[in-house]
Amino acid sequence: MVKILATADWQMDMVGGSLNPNAREYLSAARVETIEKILELAKEENVDVILAAGDLFEFPKVSDETTDAVARVLHQSDVPIHAIPGNHDLYGSSSVWNTPEIREIDHFHLHNEQTQTEIAKGVFLHSIPVKSIYDIQPQDELLEDVSDQDGVHIVMAHAHDVSVGTFGGHEDNCKLPIDSSKVIGKGYSLLILGHWHSWLEVQENRVLYPGTHEQTKFGERDAGNVAIIDVPEDGTEPRIEKKKVGKIHWANVEFNCTEKELPDDLIEFVRNQRDEGVEFLKLKLIGEVNVDALAGAIPEAKSACRPMVRHLDISSDELTRVIDVENMTNKVDLPMGLREIQRSILTELENAQGNEDMTNNLIDELYALYRACRDAEIIGD
């Protein structure tokens, strides 16, 4: 039996543009630390080989700091690593793959051409690198039928498995098709794929996307894993075990504001998310709120919650605004003059329903009024 650790899509040197600057730096450091964790796991599991199915780097040419960091980590292990370029890190003379830092790692083997390599006695790896992001030839057509050949045959590719569908629009402009059912039908025991960032076992114990080792953005369903795979040398079905390695806990959740005590309930909800280990939080506010809450309580909650996690994204676009001018005027006790300004804004808000830009501007005005009154201690928190 040969034991494999399968991984893909490290996306090293990725920008993380939707995150705040501190969160981007934290994610960048975590991606390096998680490679170290992968290598430690490979040692603990006594694996024979690591297969890395493309897009280990975000670009063909990355920063010197990223190249050094990855090379330094890879030197810490002597487990053979077999990798292919993906659509993000295409091979070329000036690419990261041709730097001395990467090229001179003895146990690191890049397959920038389609190859067949014996990775253990009687176990053959068929590597299919990405040569062009515009390639539309099905990659399964590049493989010969090995049904009558001796040994165990494994395929590593970076592609869209057409049996899965569109992957929710993931990089639709980059087709790279492969039909996993045809690959297995040609006598291959196992297909390891890169390109999709979430764990996806397309065909149980036969076809796998291990996904990225450290989640890259909100919405990735099951990222931050690698696979430990036992491949019997008699060609019988492999056994795949999912191992969590990702460091960062992301959450994409909703909070219903209807009849909640704001800002307290919202702050408590975020605090609970933090206590459960969430570091990157995307929060969608839904339900009904009055304009007073939208102008005062929710901005206050956002300010209070922002330091609780490393990255916080709160969306209130789907909230339904309830406007009751009389009730809201009486609820916030302002002195004469300021009270008339408040009533004027609220009346304009009532008349502006359906005009998103005007409504947002008026809410900003109302929040500025309340904030100035709080700062001047005219009203309490």
User: The domain 2-244: what is its CATH number?
Assistant: 3.60.21.10
Task: Say how far apart CA 312 and CA 290 lie, in whole Å.
Answer: 23
Contact between residue 311 and residue 279 where contact means Cβ atoms under 8 Å apart: yes
Q: Are 276 and 253 in contact (CB under 8 A)?
A: no
Position 136: which residue type?
Answer: I
- Check residue 303 and give its pLDDT: 94
Report d(CA 212, CA 225) in Å as an integer: 7
Question: Consecutive sets of 10 residues in the chain, 381 residues long: mean pLDDT of each?
Answer: 96 89 95 98 98 97 97 96 97 97 97 96 96 92 96 96 73 84 96 96 95 94 96 90 97 95 96 97 93 84 96 91 70 82 85 80 84 81 64
C-beta neighbour count of 136 within 10 angstroms: 9
Question: What pLDDT is attached to residue 372?
Answer: 87
Contacts of 310 (CB under 8 A, 6+ apart): 22, 23, 26, 279, 280
Predicted confidence at residue 169, as pLDDT, reads 61
Rounded Cα distance between 117 and 140, Å, is: 18
Gap between the Cα atoms of 50 and 164, Å rounded? 25
Domain segments of the chain as ranges: 2-244, 250-375
* Host H or E run for residue 314: strand 311-315
CA distance 293 to 301: 10
Pairing of strands 207-209, 200-203: antiparallel
Going edge to edge, which strands form the sheet with 49-52? 108-110, 81-83, 49-52, 2-7, 225-231, 239-244
- Which one, of 307, 247, 250, lies nearest residue 283 by Cα? 250
> How many angstroms separate the CA atoms of 381 and 303, rounded?
13
Burial 359-372 (b: 16+ CB within 10 A, else e): beebbebbbebbee
Buried b (16+ CB within 10 A) or exposed e, 140-171: beebeebeeeeebbbbbbbbbbbeeeebeeee
**What's the confidence (pLDDT) of residue 168?**
60
Global confidence as pTM: 0.84
Q: What is the pLDDT of residue 15?
A: 84
**Backbone φ and ψ of 256, nearest 5°:** -90, 115
What's the CA gap between 220 and 58, in Å, rounded? 17
Residue-level pLDDT at 188: 97
Neighbours of 84 (CB within 10 A): 29
Tokens of 301: 């909650």
